[in-house]
Structure 1
Amino acid sequence: MVSMPNGIPGNEPTSAGSRRHIFGDDADQYDTARPGYPRQLVQDVLDFSALAAHVPALEVGAGTGKATLGFARSGVPLTCVEPDVRMARVLRRRCAHLPDGDVTIEVADFEAWHPRRRYGLLYCAQAWHWIDPAVRWARARCALVPGGAIALFWNHWFLPCGELADRLTAAHARHGVEVPPDTLLDPRPRPARRGPEARQWRDMTAAGFVEPDHRLYASAHERSTSALIDLFTSYGGYRALPAGPRDRVMTEMADIVAEHGGRARVQVITSLFLGRTPPTATSSQAAGAWDRQH
């Protein structure tokens, strides 16, 4: 049985620092396959952060810009930090139509990146679990002004239980491939923990963030056979598979979806965690904390 690395946020593999670059192996395919985020989520994040006019926000792990454009269209100046140069190349292309200065892109690991200023909002879409848990919360606090907001969110996609999901799961078994956790065919409820029970909530408050909140957004969309297979292959667990087993599973799944009418309904739960730095912290304290980590 070929097993795939655990991709559940909050259960980071020890090799996360290297594995997060796997998405850049085909950045264009990733960008095409992955859905964006609800417009209401973007508005809720901006309302929570209460950014003053022209105050920039920081995006950590921007990828190809699946969340970037939603915030940029709202008129918020952005600094986007992305560790993979190939993903950043797609991000630059997608932002090319925006006015100069609206989006600044820096290729760097957030763990080693030095901000030139403090931000009123830090947000991270689908990537916080890839950042070193030993430093990520302290780095976030140091990058934010007192009272600055943090917003972490993930899309959880799944196929409803039924004949199609059963047949696709069986295809994995026939080829000796395990269904990875937190992917389209994982039958467990997503997110697995909610509110104060969620690890992100507990870690956030333990790191000194206040006013925690957890919000969920439900949506659904139809996918063609090719679009569904592209979404499967955009997962890190599938990308990490040997090419032979992966290609055989994907080919059989494509045949199954085609027999099912060539379309599948994908349900999405988007999970958003919010918090903010204490308003009593001083900028000098934040800067000192940052300096002590270098």
Structure 2
Amino acid sequence: MGPMTDGTRERRHAFGDDAEQYDAGRPGYPEQLVDDVLDFAGGTAAAPALEVGAGTGKATLAFARRGLSITCVEPDERMARVLRLRCAGLPQVTVEVADFETWRPGSRRHGLLYCAQAWHWVDPAARWARARAALRPNGAVALFWNHWFLQDEHLARELTAAHERHGLDIPEHTLLDPRPRPAHHGPRARQWREMEADGGFTDIDHRLYTTHHPRTAAGIVGLVASNSGYRVIDKARREPLLDEMARLVGDRTVTVRVVTSLFLARTKDA
């Protein structure tokens, strides 16, 4: 992703238009991933942790329930409102509404910075320096994303054809996107290359996790509608497409395969 543009900022805040729907539509993250991140970061000794782009708390709860003290930085007040409600019984979670690019960590440094499904929204010109500034020496970075795939290939073709009938392209990185996801692995991946180019990170690693999730028509439409590529489509064009997608799924329960991509690294010692 290139420099931050007005269009990128618009899409970054599109999720807050219906924060509750986003929260209901998106799957969470594998427990094994949480285990691996905490093991890499040194367990609760990684506290305080910093979550960038916390959204409605899909990852927050998984880490907070392991006893981790977390500061969540979320740029959208509407998303942060849902996040606060979900974390109401977790006093070790603090929510701050701010863009990570301008958020000030103060004198406190963190042992772990993690970001779920949001690192690509942070300005590429600032994100790695900002991460290093927020972390202690040897602090851990964990960046992860879910990639969604519809297991039923016939249904996928039907839903793709519905987009064509409505004159709409399939947005990138969504359930029906035919392009490979993740596109690159290990040292060929953009995140790996950017951390190497920055020069401030070591012990870089890339891991993949696969899980399967049953979804009804409402679940499929909810997942699709939660993506910014669909949210920025005019509602008068988007809603008829989503209605047709729900009719095509019908009363079936279908399987969504989720591949979660995790990048790990540590800041260099001084």
What range is the shorter-chain TM-score in?
Answer: over 0.9
User: 2:23 — aligned with what?
Assistant: 31
User: 2:233 — aligned with what?
Assistant: 241
- Deviation at 1:161? 5.7
Q: Does the CA contact (< 8 Å) of 2:80 and 2:97 recur in 1? A: yes
SS at match of 1:231: helix
- Note the alpha carbon deviations across 1:105-132, whole angstroms, 9 max, x for none: 1000100000021101000000000011
Please tell me the root mean square deviation across aligned C-alpha atoms, in Å.
1.4
Q: Does the CA contact (< 8 Å) of 1:16 and 1:131 recur in 2? A: no
In structure 2, do the counterparts of structure 1 residues 223 and 120 end up closer, same or farther at CA, with 3 Å as the change threshold?
Answer: same
Q: 1:246-285 maps to which residues of 2 (within 5 A)?
A: 246-258=238-250, 261-279=251-269, 281=270
SS at match of 2:37: helix
Q: Does the CA contact (< 8 Å) of 1:55 and 1:119 recur in 2? A: yes
The amino acid of 2:89's aligned partner reads H
**Percentage identity across aligned positions?**
62
Q: 1:156-167 maps to which residues of 2 (within 5 A)?
A: 156-160=147-151, 162-167=153-158
Q: 1:24-63 maps to which residues of 2 (within 5 A)?
A: 24-51=16-43, 53=45, 55-63=47-55
TM-score normalised by L of structure 1: 0.88
- Deviation at 1:40? 0.6
SS at match of 2:211: strand
User: 1:146 pairs with 133, 137, 141, which one?
Assistant: 137
Question: How far apart, CA to CA, are the structure 1 residues paired with 2:46 and 2:156?
Answer: 47
- Note the alpha carbon deviations across 1:240-291, whole angstroms, 9 max, x for none: 0011211111111111000xx4222101000000001001x1xxxxxxxxxx
Question: How far apart, CA to CA, are the structure 2 residues paired with 1:61 and 1:23?
Answer: 11
In structure 2, do the counterparts of structure 1 residues 53 and 237 end up closer, same or farther at CA, with 3 Å as the change threshold?
Answer: same
Q: Does the CA contact (< 8 Å) of 1:17 and 1:131 recur in 2? A: no
TM superposition outliers: structure 1 runs of 4+ over 3 Å: 10-13, 51-54
User: 2:123 pairs with 119, 132, 137, which one?
Assistant: 132
In structure 2, do the counterparts of structure 1 residues 266 and 13 end up closer, same or farther at CA, with 3 Å as the change threshold?
Answer: farther
Gaps of 5+ in 2: none
Question: How far apart, CA to CA, are the structure 2 residues paired with 1:56 and 1:26?
Answer: 30
- Deviation at 1:188? 2.3
Q: Does the CA contact (< 8 Å) of 2:48 and 2:111 recur in 1? A: yes
Question: How far apart, CA to CA, are the structure 1 residues paired with 2:154 and 2:11?
Answer: 33
User: 1:106 — aligned with what?
Assistant: 96
- Note the alpha carbon deviations across 1:169-226, whole angstroms, 9 max, x for none: 0000001000111110012221011100100110012112111000000011110111
SS at match of 1:250: helix
Question: How far apart, CA to CA, are the structure 1 residues paired with 2:3 and 2:102?
Answer: 19
- Note the alpha carbon deviations across 1:61-90, whole angstroms, 9 max, x for none: 000000000000111100000000000000
User: 1:200 — aligned with what?
Assistant: 191
User: 2:223 pairs with 226, 231, 252, which one?
Assistant: 231
Q: Does the CA contact (< 8 Å) of 2:2 and 2:124 recur in 1? A: no
The amino acid of 1:217's aligned partner reads Y
SS at match of 1:252: helix
TM-score normalised by L of structure 2: 0.96
- Deviation at 1:12? 7.2
Aligned residues between the structures: 267
SS at match of 1:201: helix
Q: Does the CA contact (< 8 Å) of 2:3 and 2:125 recur in 1? A: no
Q: Does the CA contact (< 8 Å) of 1:58 and 1:119 recur in 2? A: yes
Question: How far apart, CA to CA, are the structure 2 residues paired with 1:200 and 1:269?
Answer: 17
